[in-house]
């Protein structure tokens, strides 16, 4: 009976929710965007053009591995147990990870599944793979190095024991801290221990060279405190890496020093820090000592370091994260451009030392203030070798705050994530501070394609799965505001094919002139007009309009911002690299406190509310400010206790706009329709303003009335009382005003404590109070073919749907098992029933309340491209080969590690089964078999023959390597004999010419 009375009171003659039943209110878990928890590991594959991001196990979710490709391609892998990602490496068609629970997991990029998981006998401390090998070498805490067969998925018998204990048996805990293959000779492995580094030779099966760094008494080393200099110190090693040509090695130590070593004789070429050189020499004065006596500055540890090379591997440089003074404000990356490496055979020791002492140039790659780089992942142009550091074009850096920043290499210019990285990565590039969801017609969104000057894209791998295309629905466009002031617009979709997957970027700091705080409070986008308004905490409102940049490529002179109440023309602040997109138009600063509500209509009006109670309306046809007021001026009459409060010394509590909406409908008492602006406040008042044409071609705004509600207004939805369609201010609705048409509309106003449906401005209408719960978010939702409903998210963890106009509960469903209840007030509901809510600090979920109970589906995107071949591995130079270097090819190393008892792979077994089936089929049909090797032997016999051939090949590896040195020496002797003969002939010829012979 109550809902029948509400229908009459609301002025709606029919039930707009007639086709909606309780069993239809079921939650669909559609998608996730963002990163579930803090990033802990990064890896990049230049062959497949994929980026892997590993996360930590936190209260917001277990650690995962995200693999991103081009545009919206994304596949998520889960660990076998709740764990955090520690190490990630690509290897061919596989992704290998080591997690905090000591599991080594192998994932297939082709099948997008975990192939196997292995728990080593000791804690995993390091991991190395090579695209040409089927093995992963795993460094353990006990100092051993074991080899895991990635293809056969089992542990091999090959093991390198703790080599440092062989050198110093008194060493106790000596874990492996780093592993690295020699860039050109895969037969050498550089193993880093805390005590020093070792080069292990696979051919000789011995440690061929040891490197132990010692700082003598009186030398500063990397320590900042002079009181430590009088002792002999052996700073622990944290990482060891090769020069790109294998001529030198570099060891990094915990005192922020790094040491260059000569590989041949094991001598120190140079020991230095980021600021100082020759730190291993007594008497040197480091820059860390302060200008005042007895003062010094501490250094950061070196978090990450890479020895980079250009296309020519001899042209190298060092990229360093950390190692700077803690007193520096900007703590970015440091790049030492070392230049071309001197010829080792012809260069003196002084030349080699000078090469590492004075780099060709030093670049500082800056990062945001207050954040330091704790890890980075280089983006090489094409080669997966040289430790992923050959010819890099960018560096994806992980900050101590958990954010990502991408810098060009080696210049260090910031690279925006817009259309360069997956939109999920943009949630931490940097963090998202505000999200708004708005509906834009499909035709309008398809026409909004930004054109901007950008560098080469480095995520081009994978292929997006095909989905159904919903052509006739409005697109759900997400507006994300980031901590650096950048705003991005992108299509969330309806669990369908996203036709326009491009991202639109708005550079807010540039638009405001780089002055003040750019913290964003509110966003509003008018899709039909292609206009965007941004409200800031500083009280500024910045308006952008879609267009073509007539001054593309030109930096125009700066303009000053005008005073309060005056619009500033900011068209000159357009990014020179933007050719077409959202261009800065105008800026308004009323200086009435932070912006608390903002609405940009599709018909050229912008209304902003301020914390000071102010209200300002802008007509973009000028643009011009056409109305300003304070809410307290015309809402005081609606406050029941205004007389008592006027006698009080404290004064009334502050009141400001909390929600704004534009509509076209016929107001109570009028016989015509007009453009209306509805403004709800934090104290439950809803004011109605009428916008009418003025005589001079402009528009005038007038206050026509207000009604009092209960609680803060969180949503205002004008609807057509006859059909339920939105009665918003659209170009189509405004165009009908000249034809004297009347729109029979009502307003659905939702507050934290109640909902009211009424005819504005002052009609009482129908009202329902929520039962002992608060509503955090609400909207009027259309379910196609069934009707309209009011959907709200409540503090008890439920989503509820109510009928229109009876306000009867249709159904409810739990959402607290998915959404973060502490951020429920930031949850958004679209007009089509999609819910966009936070599930973690940097991840949102897309749900549909009128669904069918669909659970979150696994990604159907493809990652692996079988047509992208792995390039051949670099080899030793001719000079190294002539000098007798014992080179081992990847195939030889495969034989040495796998041994004669290596079982056949699954592909080999499958091929054998197919061959056997073909042989039997051919025998039944009486036709000859193509493969002559299997004509007269069975399946097991063929396998036995393969194993015997493998054993013979393994023996030939040793024989060939033994003959290599003999052949090289014999060839060198022949060359020497030839040169001696030529010299003798030249001398005899000269003597003969003297005597006339």
pLDDT digits (tens, 9 = 90+) for 297-338: 788 899 999 999 999 999 999 999 999 888 887 788 999 999
Both tokens of 315, joined, read 């042209």
**SS3 assignment, position 297:** coil
- 762 — pLDDT class (breaks 50, 70, 90): confident
**Residue 159 within a domain:** no
Strand partners, 481: 434, 487
Q: What is the mean pLDDT of residues 871-880?
A: 79
Most confident of 68-77, 161-170, 508-517, 758-767: 68-77
Q: What 8-state DSSP symbol labels residue 594? A: S
Task: Say whether both 450 and 574 belong to one domain.
Answer: yes
Task: Say whether both 465 and 577 belong to one domain.
Answer: yes
Last residue of a domain, one of 857, 890, 916: 857
Q: What is the mean pLDDT of residues 74-98?
A: 96
Both tokens of 767, joined, read 């009202």
Last residue of a domain, one of 857, 889, 923: 857
Task: Say whether both 839 and 761 belong to one domain.
Answer: no
CA dihedral angle for residue 398, residue 400, residue 402, residue 403, rounded to 10 degrees: -60
Please, where are the H alpha helices in 418-558? 423-426, 442-446, 508-511
Task: Say whether both 445 and 584 belong to one domain.
Answer: yes
pLDDT surpasses 50 at 38: yes
Q: What 8-state DSSP symbol labels residue 289? A: B
Task: Say whether both 26 and 42 belong to one domain.
Answer: no
**Are the beta carbons of 488 and 425 closer than 8 angstroms?**
no
Question: Which residues of 235-391 form beta strands (DSSP E)?
Answer: 237-242, 248-253, 258-262, 268-272, 302-309, 315-322, 333-340, 361-365, 373-380
Q: Give the model's pLDDT for residue 825.
A: 94
- 935 — pLDDT class (breaks 50, 70, 90): very low
Q: Give the model's pLDDT for residue 1.
A: 46
Most confident of 172-176, 267-271, 633-637: 267-271
- 472 — pLDDT class (breaks 50, 70, 90): low
Q: Which of the residue ranges 405-409, 581-585, 640-644, 840-844 would you say has the lowest mean pLDDT?
A: 640-644
Q: Which domain holds residue 802?
A: 1-32+770-857
Task: Say whether both 97 and 26 belong to one domain.
Answer: no
**Residue 312 within a domain:** no
Q: Give the model's pLDDT for residue 918.
A: 82
Task: Say whether both 756 and 783 belong to one domain.
Answer: no
Q: Give the model's pLDDT for residue 892.
A: 85
CA atoms within 13 A on the CB side of 818: 24
**Residue 83 within a domain:** yes
The 3-class SS string of 303-347 reads EEEEEEECCCCCEEEEEEEECCECCCCCECEEEEEEEECCCCCCC
pLDDT digits (tens, 9 = 90+) for 222-247: 877 777 888 899 999 999 999 999 99
Task: Say whether both 737 and 802 belong to one domain.
Answer: no
pLDDT surpasses 50 at 987: no
Number of structural domains (the chain) is: 5
pLDDT digits (tens, 9 = 90+) for 763-804: 888 999 998 899 999 999 999 889 999 999 999 999 999 999
Extract long-range pairs of 255-260: CB within 8 Å, 24+ residues apart: 255/221, 255/222, 255/223, 255/299, 256/222, 256/299, 256/300, 256/301, 256/302, 256/322, 256/323, 257/221, 257/222, 258/302, 258/305, 258/318, 258/320, 258/323, 259/213, 260/356
Q: Give the model's pLDDT for residue 329.
A: 77
Q: Give the model's pLDDT for residue 293.
A: 55
Last residue of a domain, one of 829, 857, 885: 857
**Are the beta carbons of 167 and 206 closer than 8 angstroms?**
no
pLDDT surpasses 50 at 865: yes
How big, in percent rounded to 5, are the helix, strand and coil portions of the chain? 15, 40, 45
**Residue 270 within a domain:** no
- 923 — pLDDT class (breaks 50, 70, 90): confident
pLDDT surpasses 90 at 634: no
Task: Say whether both 460 and 568 belong to one domain.
Answer: yes
Q: What is the mean pLDDT of residues 864-869?
A: 92
**Residue 44 within a domain:** yes
pLDDT surpasses 70 at 933: no
Q: Which of the residue ranges 62-66, 201-205, 522-526 would you say has the lowest mean pLDDT?
A: 201-205
- 642 — pLDDT class (breaks 50, 70, 90): very low
Task: Say whether both 481 and 580 belong to one domain.
Answer: yes
pLDDT digits (tens, 9 = 90+) for 291-305: 555 566 788 899 999
Q: Give the model's pLDDT for residue 516.
A: 66
Average pLDDT score over the chain: 88
**Residue 289 within a domain:** no
CA atoms within 13 A on the CB side of 309: 21
Q: Give the model's pLDDT for residue 944.
A: 52
Given the structure tokens 């897309």, which residue do they identify? 846
**SS3 assignment, position 492:** coil
Q: Which of the residue ranges 15-29, 420-434, 508-522, 917-931 would you say has the lowest mean pLDDT?
A: 917-931
Q: Give the model's pLDDT for residue 647.
A: 45
pLDDT surpasses 50 at 150: yes
**Are the beta carbons of 480 and 488 closer than 8 angstroms?**
yes
**Are the beta carbons of 412 and 335 closer than 8 angstroms?**
yes
User: Which has the higher per-residue pLDDT, 667 or 7?
Assistant: 667
User: Which has the higher per-residue pLDDT, 555 or 958?
Assistant: 555
Q: Which of the residue ranges 162-176, 664-678, 695-709, 976-990 would you say has the lowest mean pLDDT?
A: 976-990
pLDDT surpasses 60 at 650: no
**Residue 932 within a domain:** no
Q: Phi, psi (5° rounding) for residue 705?
A: 155, 170
Both tokens of 949, joined, read 């051939």
Q: What is the mean pLDDT of residues 649-653?
A: 63
**Residue 454 within a domain:** yes
Task: Say whether both 448 and 474 belong to one domain.
Answer: yes
How far lies 599's CA from each of 490, 522, 529, 804, 825, in Å? 19, 9, 13, 25, 18
Q: Give the model's pLDDT for residue 886.
A: 67
Q: What is the mean pLDDT of residues 263-279?
A: 93
Q: Give the model's pLDDT for residue 824.
A: 95
Task: Say whether both 468 and 510 belong to one domain.
Answer: yes
The length of the chain, given as a count of residues: 997
């Amino acid at each position: 009976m109550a809902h029948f009375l509400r229908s009459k009171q609301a002025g709606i003659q029919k039930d707009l929710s007639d086709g909606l039943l309780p069993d239809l209110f079921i939650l669909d878990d559609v998608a996730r965007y963002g990163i579930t928890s803090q990033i802990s590991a990064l890896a990049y594959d230049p062959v497949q053009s994929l980026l892997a991001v590993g996360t930590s196990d936190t209260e917001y979710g277990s650690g995962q591995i995200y693999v991103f490709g081009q545009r919206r391609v994304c596949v998520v892998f889960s660990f076998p147990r709740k764990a955090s990602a520690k190490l990630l490496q690509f290897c061919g068609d596989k992704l290998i990870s080591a997690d905090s629970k000591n599991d080594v997991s192998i994932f297939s990029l082709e099948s997008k599944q975990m192939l196997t998981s292995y728990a080593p006998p000791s804690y995993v401390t390091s991991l190395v793979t090579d695209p040409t090998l089927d093995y992963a070498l795993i460094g353990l805490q006990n100092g051993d190095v074991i080899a895991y067969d990635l293809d056969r998925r089992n542990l091999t018998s090959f093991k390198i024991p703790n080599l440092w204990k062989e050198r110093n048996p008194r060493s106790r805990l000596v874990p492996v801290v780093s592993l690295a293959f020699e860039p050109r000779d895969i037969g050498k492995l550089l193993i880093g221990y805390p005590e020093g580094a070792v080069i292990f030779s696979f051919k000789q099966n011995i440690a061929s060279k040891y490197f132990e760094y010692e700082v003598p008494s009186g030398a500063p080393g990397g320590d900042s405190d002079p009181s430590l200099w009088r002792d002999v110190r052996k700073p622990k090693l944290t990482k060891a890496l090769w020069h790109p040509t294998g001529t030198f090695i570099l060891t990094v130590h915990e005192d922020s020093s790094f040491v260059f070593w000569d590989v041949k004789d094991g001598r120190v070429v140079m020991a230095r820090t980021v600021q100082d050189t020759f730190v291993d020499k007594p008497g040197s004065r480091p820059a860390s000592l302060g200008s005042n006596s007895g003062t010094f500055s501490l250094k950061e540890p070196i978090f990450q370091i890479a020895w980079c090379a250009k296309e020519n591997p001899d042209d190298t440089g060092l990229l360093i994260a950390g190692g700077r003074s803690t007193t520096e404000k900007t703590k970015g990356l440091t790049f030492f451009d070392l230049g071309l490496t001197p010829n080792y055979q012809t260069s003196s020791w002084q030349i080699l030392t000078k090469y590492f002492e004075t780099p060709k140039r030093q670049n500082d790659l800056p990062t945001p203030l207050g954040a330091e780089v704790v890890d980075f992942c280089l983006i090489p142009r094409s080669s997966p070798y040289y430790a992923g550091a050959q010819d890099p074009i960018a560096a994806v850096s992980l900050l101590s705050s958990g954010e990502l920043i991408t810098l060009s290499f080696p210049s260090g210019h910031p690279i925006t994530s817009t259309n360069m990285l997956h939109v999920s990565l943009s949630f931490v590039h940097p963090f998202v501070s505000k999200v708004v969801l708005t509906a834009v017609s499909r035709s309008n969104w398809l026409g909004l394609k930004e054109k901007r000057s950008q560098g080469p894209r480095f995520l081009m791998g994978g292929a997006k799965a095909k989905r159904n295309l919903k052509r006739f629905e409005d697109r759900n466009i997400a507006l994300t505001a980031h901590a650096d002031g950048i705003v991005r617009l992108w299509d969330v979709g309806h669990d369908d094919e996203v036709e326009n997957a491009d991202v639109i970027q708005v550079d807010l700091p540039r638009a405001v002139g780089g002055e003040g705080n750019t913290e964003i409070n509110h966003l509003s986008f008018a899709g039909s007009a292609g206009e965007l308004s941004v409200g800031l905490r500083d009280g500024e409102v910045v308006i952008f309009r879609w267009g073509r940049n007539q001054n593309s490529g030109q930096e125009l002179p700066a303009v000053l911002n005008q005073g309060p109440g005056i619009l500033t023309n900011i068209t000159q602040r357009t990014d020179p690299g933007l050719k077409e997109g959202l261009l800065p138009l105008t800026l308004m600063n009323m200086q009435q406190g932070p912006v608390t509500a903002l609405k940009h209509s599709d018909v050229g009006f912008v209304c902003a509310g301020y914390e000071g109670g102010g209200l300002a309306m802008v007509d973009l046809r000028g643009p011009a400010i056409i109305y300003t007021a304070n809410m307290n001026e015309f809402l005081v009459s609606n406050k029941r206790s205004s007389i008592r409060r006027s006698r009080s010394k404290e004064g009334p509590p502050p009141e400001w706009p909390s929600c704004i909406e534009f509509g076209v409908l016929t107001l109570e008492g009028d016989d015509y329709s007009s453009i209306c602006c509805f403004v709800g406040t934090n104290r439950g008042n809803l004011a109605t303003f009428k916008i009418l044409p003025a005589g001079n071609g402009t528009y005038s705004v007038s206050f026509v009335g207000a009604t009092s509600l209960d609680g803060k207004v969180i949503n205002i939805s004008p609807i057509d009382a006859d059909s339920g369609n939105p009665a918003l201010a659209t170009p189509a609705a405004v165009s009908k005003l000249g034809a004297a048409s009347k729109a029979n509309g009502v307003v659905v106003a939702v507050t934290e404590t109640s909902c009211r449906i009424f005819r504005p401005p002052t009609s009482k209408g129908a009202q329902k109070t929520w039962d002992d719960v608060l509503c955090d978010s609400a909207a009027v939702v259309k379910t196609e073919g069934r009707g309209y409903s009011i959907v709200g998210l409540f503090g008890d963890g439920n989503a509820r749907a109510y009928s229109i106009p009876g306000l009867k509960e249709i159904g409810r469903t739990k959402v607290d098992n998915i959404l973060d209840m502490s951020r429920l007030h930031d949850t958004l509901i679209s007009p089509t029933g999609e819910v966009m809510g936070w599930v973690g600090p940097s991840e949102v979920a897309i749900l549909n309340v009128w669904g069918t109970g669909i659970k979150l589906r696994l990604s159907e995107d493809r990652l692996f491209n079988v047509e992208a071949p792995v390039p051949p591995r670099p080899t030793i130079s001719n000079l190294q080969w002539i000098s007798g270097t014992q080179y081992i090819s990847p195939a030889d190393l495969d034989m040495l590690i796998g041994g004669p008892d290596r079982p056949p792979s699954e592909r080999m077994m499958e091929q054998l089964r197919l061959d056997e089936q073909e042989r039997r089929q051919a025998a039944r049909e009486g036709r000859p078999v193509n493969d002559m090797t299997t004509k007269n032997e069975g399946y097991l016999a063929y396998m036995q023959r393969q194993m015997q051939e493998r054993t013979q090949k393994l023996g030939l590896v040793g024989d060939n390597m033994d003959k290599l040195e003999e052949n090289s020496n014999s060839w060198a002797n022949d060359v020497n004999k030839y040169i001696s003969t030529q010299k003798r002939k030249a001398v005899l010829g000269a003597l003969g010419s003297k005597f006339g012979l």
